[in-house]
Amino acid sequence: MRVYCAADYYHASRVAANIISAQVIMKPDCVLGLATGSTPIGTYEQLIRWYEKGDLDFSQVHSINLDEYRGLSPENDQSYRYFMNKHLFDSINIDKKNTFVPDGLEPDKEKACRDYEDIIHAHGGVDLQILGLGHNGHIGFNEPGSAFEKETHCVTLSENTRQANARFFASIDEVPTEAYTMGIKSIMQAKKIVVIVSGESKNEIVKRAFTGPITPEVPASVLQLHNDVTLVGDEAALAGFPR
């Protein structure tokens, strides 16, 4: 695993954006696995800036997002589709037809998951997967206890995760109780993975995930078994982390 420790969030975001840029330049028709949450926002801002300067071209890029709340429409400003449009897709020249987020409105859980796996496979898998890290070690919405062999599936969100994400909603009652997420197996099949972490609140879980035992209780710990993982963080998140 490679570790890049930047002074602060802004510089960590630039490192992560540089890695994504390199991917897009080396393979213009690559498949990017994208993540939501507050952490990658700075990375997406950098990509937009470099696109505006003429340094990046997303016209042939395809993207596959990790997860989506079940029951939220793309127009709902808390849906991850809305997030991706707002924080990235609306500001770059990616063709929206080439961007994929699980269908939060598909009532048939099995169908929603099967359709999403079909999309991943039809694109030949993900070249570069971006991940954030939940405070309980979740990746995507794979909560502690998630079986490593799962592909895209429907999850019941933990109270911890609903509380953590409640800040984006009017009240905790509005936070959906379920979500569709790529599974650990789907994530582990990405050719390369970049994990972005920021802030002191992630410090403990980063250590547990990357230096502790590999266990479904800390879903991100499985990443220790992947052979191309880059961890990008700021000083606050990586303090005391072996480098």
Binding site for ligand GLP (CB under 6 A): 35-39, 66-67, 132-134, 140-141, 161, 165
The least distance separating ligand GLP from the CB of residue 55, rounded to whole angstroms, comes to: 26
Minimal distance, residue 207 CB to ligand GLP, in Å: 16
Q: Rounded to the nearest whole angstrom, what is the least distance from the CB of residue 97 to ligand GLP in the complex?
A: 23
Q: Is residue 143 among the annotated active site residues? A: yes
Question: Which is nearer to ligand GLP, 28 or 195 (by Cβ)?
Answer: 195
Q: Is 160 a catalytic site residue?
A: no
Q: For the purposes of burial, counting CB atoms within 10 Å of the CB of 26, is it exposed (0-12), middle (13-18) or buried (19 or more)?
A: exposed
- Identify the CA nearest to 1 among candidates 192, 219, 218: 192
Active-site annotation holder among 62, 65, 68, 138: 138
Nearer to ligand GLP, 38 or 156 (CB): 38
- Specify whether 8 is catalytic: no
Q: Which helix H or strand E contains 19, and what residues bound it?
A: helix 9-26
- The distance of closest approach from Cβ of residue 19 to ligand GLP in the complex, given in angstroms and rounded to an integer, is 17
| Rounded-to-integer distance, Cα 80 and Cα 88, Å | 12
- CA-to-CA distance for 99 and 239, rounded, in angstroms? 35
Compute the least distance from the CB of residue 70 to ligand GLP, in Å: 12
Catalytic residue among 127, 143, 151, 234: 143
The question of whether 136 is a catalytic residue gets the answer: yes
Q: Which is nearer to ligand GLP, 67 or 103 (CB)?
A: 67
Closest CA to 188 of 226, 140, 231, 228: 226
Q: What's the order of all strands across the beta sheet hosting 153-156?
A: 67-69, 178-181, 153-156
**Which residue, 132 or 233, has its beta carbon nearer to ligand GLP?**
132
Q: How far is CA 232 from the centre of its chain?
A: 13
Residue closer to ligand GLP (CB basis): 11 or 60? 11
Q: Please, what is the end-to-end C-alpha distance for the chain in angstroms?
A: 10
Residues with catalytic annotation?
67, 136, 138, 143
